[in-house]
Amino acid sequence: MTAIILAAGKGERLKPLTALTPKPLIKVSGQTLLERNINCLAESGVKKIIVNGSRMGNQIESFLRNHYEQSNVSIDYISEGDEPLGTAGAIFNIIDEGLINDDLFWVVNADIITDFPFKRIQLNSLYVQNSRGKYEMQILNTLKQSMLDIRKFSWDMSIFLAQEFSLLSIASKYSTGSSIMPNKSNPDVIEIMRANYAVMAGHYSELENLISLPSGYHRDLQLTKRSLIHSIHCVTKTLGLLPDLIKSIKVDVQRSNEFIDQDMLMTDQAYELVQSGLPFREAYIKVKSQQEASFVSKTLSRKNSSSGSAYNLDLKILKARLKKLNQSK
């Protein structure tokens, strides 16, 4: 099997990274985009690769010579000159030069990162075109799940920080003063983190509408990258704020204790009666009637309280799990 790697792009969207370096030679996690694609193709059984270049092509040609001269894969470099030929023009140029004779061959853009199993040849070109934007949506959907948890966290924080509750406090750098109320402090960072989920949801909706097109390729699809890149930037910035923000949280224990109500323990009281042999339905009715009579259990202990309940958070178990998770990384 033969493959063509198109590496003649100008890299306008990655400037200033591409000011002195061609886009295929930009490194991601210590490995160039071009290298990733060559290795992926080679692992899939591709024996011959033609790299098509243009802008700063001498750097690409030198890279191939220095890294793949002794490779088991045959790699040729061809320049399309200063005038861009486009995708079809580049392919025809390679065929005209006699560098490829196969009826079927792969065409890969040098600026993608993929672990796609190229052995699974997809012959339906319409399917290939119709998949554009779907992978971006899958990534955004995954990112949305993280942002949804952050949104819930931010909502809870904004409520418990409010003056009506005053259960928590955070470092002053995460808040600003009110423009009109001298006594008020606004948790701006938390509110913006909460809003970022809406930004993600907007990008997801934008992608969904962008790809709602007739079959085939359309220039509209170029706009899918903006939503993806901005979403990744939004999530990474938000996640980067979390660790120090969480460390700065202080709990007003005395104030929190004022909110503890015996109603929180009613289910545990029912379970305690079940452990003594009473059917749950009868225990439920008994506790409910005692609640109406302002009954307060004198025997309920932490030992008998359900793990994870308000009376028994079992934070030690969660800390142990988190420590084990960090050690496994």
Give the residue extent of every domain in the chain: 2-121, 134-255, 260-328
Q: Which residues, 6 or more positions from 43, have their beta carbon under 8 angstroms from its beta carbon?
A: none
The segment with the largest mean pLDDT, out of 60-74, 140-154, 293-307, is 140-154
Tell me which H or E stretch contains 223: none
pLDDT at 94 over 90: no
Q: What is the mean pLDDT of the chain?
A: 82
> Percentage of the chain with pLDDT > 70?
91
On the question of pLDDT at 298 being above 50, the answer is no
Amino acid at 21: T
Task: Give the residue-averaged pLDDT of 261-267.
Answer: 75
**pLDDT for residue 4 is more than 60:** yes
CA angle 106, 110, 111 (to 5 degrees): 130
pLDDT at 225 over 90: no
Q: Quick: pLDDT tens for 102-114.
A: 767 778 888 877 7
**Beta strands, E only, the chain:** 2-7, 27-28, 31-32, 48-53, 74-79, 105-109, 168-169, 176-177, 185-186, 250-251
Looking at domain 134-255, its CATH class is mainly alpha
The reported pLDDT for the residue numbered 46 is 80
Cβ atoms within 10 Å, residue 225: 12
Give residue 69's pLDDT: 73
pLDDT at 206: 92
Tell me which of 20 and 232 has the higher pLDDT.
232
Q: Kindly state the average pLDDT of the residues 65-80.
A: 79
- Mean pLDDT confidence for 233-247: 93
Rg (CA), the chain: 30
Where does residue 2 fall: left (phi above 0), alpha (psi -120 to 50 degrees), or beta otherwise?
A: beta
The beta-strand segments (E) located in 27-121 are 27-28, 31-32, 48-53, 74-79, 105-109
How far is the C-alpha of 76 from the C-alpha of 97, rounded, in Å? 11
* pLDDT above 60 (res 286): yes
| Model pLDDT, residue 293 | 47
Q: Where is mean pLDDT largest: 114-118, 243-247, 324-328?
A: 243-247
What pLDDT shows up at residue 256? 86
Structure tokens at 250: 């202080």
> In this structure, what DSSP letter does residue 216 have?
S
Q: Are strands 185-186 and 176-177 parallel, antiparallel or unpaired?
A: antiparallel
Prediction pTM value: 0.57
2-121 CATH choice from 3.90.550.10, 3.20.20.70, 3.50.50.60, 3.30.43.10: 3.90.550.10
More confident residue, 84 or 302: 84
Q: Torsion-angle region of residue 157: left (phi > 0), alpha (psi -120 to 50) or beta?
A: alpha
Same fold, 2-121 and 134-255: no
Number of H helices, E strands in the chain: 11, 10
How far apart, in Å, are the Cα atoms of 186 and each of 66, 169, 180, 191, 250?
A: 57, 11, 12, 9, 16
CB 54 within 8 A of CB 25: no
Residue with tokens 């692992």: 43
Q: Which H, E and C letters describe 97-163, residue by residue? A: CCCCCCCCEEEEECCCCCCCCCCCCCCCHHHHHHCCCHHHHHHHHHHHHHHHHHHHHHHHHHHHHCC
Q: Which residue has the tokens 């931010």?
A: 154
